[in-house]
Amino acid sequence: MARCPTVLLVNPWITDFAAYDMWAKPLGLLLLGALLRDGGCRVFLVDCLQRHDPETQERADVLPGRDDAFGTGKYDKTPIAVPAPLADLKRPYFRYGIHPESFRNKLSHVPRPNLICVTCHMTYWYPGVQETIAHIRDIWPGVPVWLGGIYARLCTEHAQRHSGADRVVVGSMDQVAKALEEALGLSFENRAAWHNLSQAPAPALDLIPSPTYGPLLLSLGCPYRCPYCASSVLQKEQVAFSVQRIFDEMLRFHEHTGIRDFAFYDDALLLNGKVALKELLKRVLRTGLRLRFHTPNALHVRALTDPSWCRLLFEAGFVTVRLGLETTSAERQRRWGGKTDLKMFHQAVDNLHRAGFSSKNIGVYLLAGVPQQTPEEVAEAIEVVQKAQAQPFVAEFSPIPGTPMWLEAVKISAYPLEAEPLTHNNSFFACQRAGFRREDLAALKRLARQARRAVAS
């Protein structure tokens, strides 16, 4: 084995009815890359979701993407056959990302790796993983392929049987480090950082091809245990990263690329990173840099009842703010952990407006289709958000293995949720039932779009 082994990281294709680059980089893979590099490895990344790939854009069979505001945009996509379990939906299905020939060319230009690590985010994107690994096997026969990520963690047995990977990685970071050392034939120089992620280096943002924004992460984990969310399943411990490390990496990325847009990936940015975020933003303000910050993951409403928080976010350059309201039902709010209520919500939105945020920049996530919920409840929530002069966004309920709501979803669904991860797709709406059909969900999304247009105007 070479003294400096080579590891190739691969972010696979998305296969779905719809996909959009809403600040969606494989941050876990980039953190792994930083740990491996600091540990003594050469690290390369091939991102199947790379936008602005010249070879892909030359292909006649590819539908081109587009660039939107603040670094977001549509992926290039190629029509593919709809998997049989999803055929009932009768919608076009796509492979999102670079063309397969471009992927193969990128693989062939990487020095022969000692190990290839593939990730996967959504459980129902596994066909993209299968195709990705099949091409890897063809280009690099004999090189071991390991699969990690959310799909591997939540659907381990399915991934072991169907992904095509040699190993599905699901253990603690200590266990992962030990397995990697054995596979690569070395002892990591930064073993302490694998044991304590707060000592880990910043994610390897320099590996991102043709970046249009930068991902940021101040913390891991969430103090709440919402029954529909897998955050506490995937990350049981809360970890805080160094403000200095994040600040230095952000400035370095900005200086090297000229990029001004940064998105926070934290599950509980205003709770876990309360002290750290304030310090980070104060440092940004002292530099005089005019950066733009976005929060695609929902912010906790409770924290924004403090007007000083809202003023600091606005002054530091926050542009896209998303709030996690989920429901306006008081009973459901209590059963989901009591993390917010309508009084807090109205106070938070009022504080954001007073701080200077425009209504078009304040988005509010509302869950639709959870067990025992009615379309009327969601429609009422949309109206509440619109009257508060904020933008309602309907988030279709997707059953997630390991969460408290999973067992309830399995009971009411007419589809094989446990055996077939494709049925977890939120567009498929496997938990439809009498009184809440796919047609109702589509009508609620139209209602939310109308409300957003009304608020924006």
Please, which residues bridge with residue 396 across strands?
368
Q: In the prediction, which pLDDT does 426 show?
A: 94
Q: In the prediction, which pLDDT does 2 show?
A: 47
Amino acid at 426: N
Give me the sheet containing 318-326, strands edge to edge.
214-216, 261-264, 292-294, 318-326, 362-368, 391-396
Q: Got the DSSP string for 74-124? A: EPPEEEEPPPGGGGGG---EEEESS-HHHHHHHHHTSPPPSEEEE---SGG
pLDDT digits (tens, 9 = 90+) for 225-238: 999 999 989 998 88
- The fold of 6-194 is Rossmann fold (3.40.50)
Q: Structure pTM?
A: 0.95
What is the domain partition of the chain in residue ranges? Answer: 6-194, 214-456
Please compute the mean of the pLDDT values over residues 285-297 and round it to a whole number. 95
pLDDT digits (tens, 9 = 90+) for 4-50: 999 999 999 999 999 999 999 999 999 999 999 999 999 999 999 99
| CATH 3.30.70.20 for domain 214-456 | no
Q: In the prediction, which pLDDT does 108 show?
A: 97
Q: Are strands 73-74 and 66-67 parallel, antiparallel or unpaired?
A: antiparallel
pLDDT digits (tens, 9 = 90+) for 94-138: 999 999 999 999 999 999 999 999 999 999 999 999 999 999 999
Q: Percent of the chain beyond pLDDT 70?
A: 100
**Residue 1 predicted with pLDDT over 70:** no
For the chain, what is the mean pLDDT? Answer: 95
pLDDT digits (tens, 9 = 90+) for 249-278: 999 999 999 999 999 999 999 988 778 999
Please compute the mean of the pLDDT values over residues 344-353 and round it to a whole number. 98
Q: What element of type H or E holds 240?
A: strand 239-240
Q: In the prediction, which pLDDT does 71 show?
A: 97
Write out 346-408 in H/E/C secondary structure.
HHHHHHHHHHCCCHHHEEEEEEECCCCCCHHHHHHHHHHHHHCCCEEEEEECCCCCCCHHHHH
